[in-house]
């Protein structure tokens, strides 16, 4: 069975979600499939076109589908490629001394743990301040151009 190709939408369309096995409407309100979404054409049924979007089966009016896909039900097949002329036989080059390539080191953030009474808190210096991570899930920027923050809380008075 040939793999179906994705078709990008050039404008949004209103579509009805269908039952995956029966192809019948689920009776839910129509949904908007957004511009730029990728859909797979699954065939026609009377005056409607069926397609999948995000793994779910949908249908919409044929005119709306053709308009949103630029008149394409299935992506055009590329013409068969002409046979390339045979490549010339490789010419042996004199052996060159291999010089090991030294890749430039990738920039990396160096995180340091900040002592905290309740949370897992980490920080790293960046231009203009600090990136602060909390519980390995959220990150925020703290302005401090001179990087004077020593990691402690300010004294409360």
62 confidence band (pLDDT: 50, 70, 90): very high
- 98-113 mean pLDDT: 74
- For the record, the structure tokens of 106 come out as 């990738």
Residue whose tokens read 């055009």: 76
**What pLDDT is recorded for position 1?**
46
Share of the chain above pLDDT 70, in %: 73
Least confident of 7-16, 27-36, 67-76, 129-138: 67-76
Least confident of 43-47, 75-79, 141-145: 75-79
Cα distances (Å, whole numbers) of residue 20 to 11, 16, 17, 24, 53:
25, 12, 9, 8, 12
Dist CA 39 CA 7 (whole Å): 5
The domains found in the chain, sorted by start residue, are: 7-68 (2.30.30), 112-143 (no CATH)
**What pLDDT is recorded for position 15?**
94
State if pTM tops 0.75.
no
Centre a 10 Å sphere on the Cβ of residue 59 and count the other Cβ atoms it contains. Answer: 22
**What pLDDT is recorded for position 61?**
93
């Amino acid at each position: 069975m040939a793999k179906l190709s994705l078709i990008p939408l050039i404008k949004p369309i209103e579509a009805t979600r269908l039952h995956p096995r029966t192809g019948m409407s689920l009776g839910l309100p129509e949904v908007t499939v957004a511009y730029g979404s990728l859909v797979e054409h699954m065939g026609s049924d009377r005056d409607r076109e069926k397609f999948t979007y995000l793994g779910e089966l949908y249908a919409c009016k044929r005119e709306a589908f053709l308009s949103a896909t630029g008149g394409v039900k299935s992506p055009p097949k590329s013409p068969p490629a002409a046979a390339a002329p045979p490549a010339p036989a490789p010419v042996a080059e004199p052996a060159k001394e291999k010089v090991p390539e030294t890749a430039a080191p990738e920039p990396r953030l160096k995180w340091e743990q900040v002592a905290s009474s309740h949370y897992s808190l980490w920080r790293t210096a960046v231009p203009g301040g600090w990136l602060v991570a909390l519980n390995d899930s959220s990150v925020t920027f703290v302005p401090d151009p001179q990087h004077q923050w020593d990691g402690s809380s300010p004294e409360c008075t």
